[in-house]
Each structure stands twice: as structure tokens, then as C-alpha cells.
Amino acid sequence: MAILASGIVMSHYAHFNLSPVTQITVQQTFRTFAFLAESCVFAYLGMAIFSFSHSFKPAFVIWTLILCLVGRAINIFPISVIVNKFREHQIDFKKQFIMWFSGLRGAIAFSLALHLPFPNEKRRVIVSTTLVIVLFSILFFGGSTMPLMNLLQNIGVEDKSQAKHKKLPQSDEESDEDMEDSDVVGEEEYALSKTVE
């Protein structure tokens, strides 16, 4: 937590005190390190499937997954409502849903599960359950996030286009009045053209 807080604070101070060339160099360097670290984590997760002895309990896996989703919803939606009261640019429901849907539970959860001080049998159940949830969230939620974003974006575009082209229906009396007004305007223009001639 100290490293995270220090990084957030220092990024606002240190980044803007660097030259433009150094800013680009530092960004690319840290992106490379982040990619390498992420690759190592996913390689370790992949090897863990075959390296550890597993003990699966389907009911425990399902309930854990449901509680993870519920816990994430309890965090994201109420906090977004509170934050929107102090923000100029609001977090709409589509963005909140994407934040809830695309949350990946990965390396930290798995490393915590590995270091829990439980007996071997309970520890195997927890590690196996965590691994299943991590793989499911990465493959299902991570793989379907982009199609879901495209779907929500298309729905938003269609709603805007329908609202733009939607016209209010006119009553018969209003349409008759419009016809009479156009006739009067036409007669005036005709009379004006005759006088000019």
C-alpha cells in the first residue's frame, strides 16, 4: 500500500518535472517492465494448474464466484453514485456496469491464497477455488469485455439517432393550419411577383 500511495503521489510531481523526451522514455520503460511482470504472472498461473495438487468443491467455487460479483457490485455502484455528486463528468450506468463486469481477479488473490496458514486439505481447496475463479474471470469476463463495450456503444448510438430523428405527431387541425399558412404565403409571393413585373 505504501508503494502504491507513493507511486500515485509521485506520478503527479515527478512526471511533469521531466523533459518531454525523458517522459516518453520513462513511460515506455515502465510499460515494458509491466508487460514482462504481467507475462510472468500469467505464466505462473498457467503452470500452477499442473504444478499443485488440487481439490475442487463445485458448490464452494460457485458460491465464491457469486459472492465476488456481489461484493464488487456493492463497491462499484454505491461509490459511483457518491462520487458523481462531486464530479463534473458523471460516471453513467454503462461505465459502472463495465467496471463491474471487467474486474479481473488475478495475481494478488492467488498469491494470498498460496500463503494462507491453513491445513493442507483446506489450503488445497482454497487455492483450487481461487485458481478457477481467476481463470474464469480472465477468460470469460476479460474475453467478453470488448464485445460488451461495442454492444453498449452501438445501443447508445442507436438511442441517440432515434431521439434525433423522432418527430412529434401532428393533429389534423395543426396540419390543416400549416397547409393554410403555406397557401397564404404562396399567394402573397405570387401577388408580389406580379406587381414587380
pLDDT at 104: 66
Which pLDDT does position 168 carry in this prediction? 47
Q: Where are the beta strands (DSSP E) in the chain?
A: none
Q: How far apart are CA 117 and CA 105, in angstroms?
A: 21
- Distances from the Cα of 144 to the Cα of 95, 136, 147, angstroms: 15, 11, 5
Question: Residue 73 to residues 52, 78, 80: CA-CA distances in angstroms?
Answer: 32, 8, 10
pTM, 2 dp: 0.62
Contact 60, 129 (CB under 8 A): yes
- pLDDT for the residue 163: 57
| Positions of E strands within 5-164 | none
- Cα dihedral angle (31, 106, 127, 72), rounded to 10 degrees? 150
- pLDDT truncated to tens, each residue of the chain (197 aa)? 788 888 888 877 887 888 889 889 988 998 999 899 888 888 888 888 887 788 888 899 899 989 988 998 999 999 999 999 988 888 888 888 888 888 766 778 888 888 888 888 888 888 888 888 888 888 888 888 888 888 888 876 665 666 555 554 554 444 455 545 445 444 444 444 444 44
Q: Is there a contact between 84 and 91 (Cβ–Cβ < 8 Å)?
A: yes
